[in-house]
Amino acid sequence: MKKFVIGIISVLFLIVAVSCSKEEKQSSELPEMLEVNLSINPEPAKLNQPVTFEAKVSQGKEAVNDADEVIFEIWRSKDEKHQKIAIKNPKNGIYRLEKSFDQEGTYYIVSHVTARDMHNMPKKEFVVGTPSEKEDPNAKDSMEGMNMEEHNKGH
Q: Burial, 7: exposed, middle or buried (Cβ in 10 Å; 0-12, 13-18, 19+)? A: exposed
Pair 106, 131: CB distance under 8 Å: yes
Task: Quote the CA–CA distance of 72 and 80 in Å, as a whole number.
Answer: 16
What pTM value is reported for the model?
Answer: 0.71
Q: How is the chain split into domains, by residue range?
A: 1-30, 34-134
Reported as a single tens digit per residue, the pLDDT across 10-21 is: 656 666 666 655
Pair 44, 127: CB distance under 8 Å: yes
CATH class of the domain whose range is 34-134: mainly beta
Reported as a single tens digit per residue, the pLDDT across 30-83 is: 889 999 999 999 999 999 999 999 999 999 999 999 999 999 999 999 999 999
